[in-house]
Each structure stands twice: as structure tokens, then as C-alpha cells.
Amino acid sequence: MNVAAQGKRANAHDWKGPREPRPVTRSYLLNAAQSYLQRYASSRANLERILVRKARMRGKDTFFLPETRELIAEVLDALERMQLLDDKAFAAGRAGTLKRKGASAALARRTLAAKGVECETAAVAVAALDIRDGEQAMITARRLKLGPWRRTDPGPPFTPSEMGKLQRRGFSGAAIREAIRLWEDEADHP
């Protein structure tokens, strides 16, 4: 059996050993942040987590240096000055998307908090949209094909398991009853 078939190199001089970690520089972090922001909207805290992860992957030793954290903070401040990073605009846009998808106000606030948006900013963004949980529960039920929108026998408006699905998405019992009332009004006046 030849050496190459065993998984070893034919020439031992070809192998150079593990690569040296590359330094984490300001330009590397700025390019990584701008590349991410070209594809996705982000909050400051979320982008900071991403840059920390990139710095950790880039250089294990340089990640733990205090200068690395300072560089990340400096890059984030520069992006805010360039108006490429704005938590209020991100929260408003993401809350609008969540409203269109039928998310409850509670779920919208939790989702924004998970992305690193401050509680007050998230609350203001959700309140500005005037999300009515009854209407949102109806949108969600229609999208998930629950209750009157299920594909099989319509039966009761919502089964207990379907109500559980809606409650796990942040809707209260009152919101679900409001969705049923809205559906009945819609059925009476097509």
C-alpha cells in the first residue's frame, strides 16, 4: 500500500503545520460588519455578537486581548456614526415584518429582545404599530391553517390543541376569542 493511500503525505516536507492565527484588525472587523449589514439588518448587540464570534474564529489568542473588545466597540461606534447601524430603525422594521406575519405583541417584543434590542426600544416599536392581538391571532391561524382555515373538517372554530399552538405564540385566551369573533363577523359578511 502506498503512502498516499494511507492518508499520509508522500513528501514530509510538503506539510507546513498548523497555520498561524491572523491578527484581528480594525479593517477586518469593519469589512466583516459591512459585509453582514449588506445582507441583513441588525441591532448593535446582535452585530457585536457576530463580530465577537468572528474575532474568536480568526485568532484564538488575540480574541482575549482587551484591545480586541475595544476594536469591536470602535467599529460599532463608527457604523452608528455612518448611520449603517440604528437600533430604532431595526426595531421598527423587524416589528413591521412580525406584524405582517401575524405575531402577537408579546412575541414581537420577545423576538426583538432576542436580537439585542433594548426593552424600551422594542416596546416603542411594537406600540407604534398598534398590534391588535385578536387580528394577529386570526392572521396566524389562517397562515398555520388552524381553526376555520384547516384543510379537513372545519368542526369547532379552534380545538384545544390549536388554541395551545396559538397560546405558545404569545396569544392570550381573550385574543383567541377575539379572533373567533372576527372570523364569525367575516363569515357573516363575505
Residue 129: Cβ-neighbour burial (10 angstroms; 0-12, 13-18, 19+) = middle
CA 118, 124, 130, 133: dihedral to nearest 10 degrees? 30
Q: Is it the case that residue 90 has pLDDT exceeding 90?
A: yes
Side chain identity at 27, as an amino acid letter?
S
Report the pLDDT value the prediction gives residue 89, as an integer from 0 to 100: 94
How confident is the model over 162-175, as a mean pLDDT? 86
pLDDT of 2 reads 54
Query: Residue 52: CA atoms inside 13 Å, Cβ hemisphere, count?
Result: 11
**Arithmetic mean of pLDDT, 144-149:** 81
pLDDT in tens, 102-145: 888 888 999 999 999 999 999 999 999 887 888 888 888 888 88
pTM here is 0.74
> pLDDT higher for 53 or 189?
53
Confidence of residue 185 (pLDDT cuts 50, 70, 90): confident
Instruction: Judge whether 92 and 125 are in contact, CB under 8 Å.
Output: yes
9 versus 44: the higher-pLDDT residue is 44
Q: From the CB of residue 78, how many other CB atoms can be counted at a distance below 10 Å?
A: 15
pLDDT over threshold 70, residue 78? yes
What pLDDT does 39 receive? 95
Residue 188 pLDDT = 67
**pLDDT tens digits for range 22-74:** 788 899 999 999 999 999 999 999 999 999 999 888 876 666 678 888 999 99
User: What does the pLDDT read at residue 10?
Assistant: 57
Largest CA distance in the chain: 82
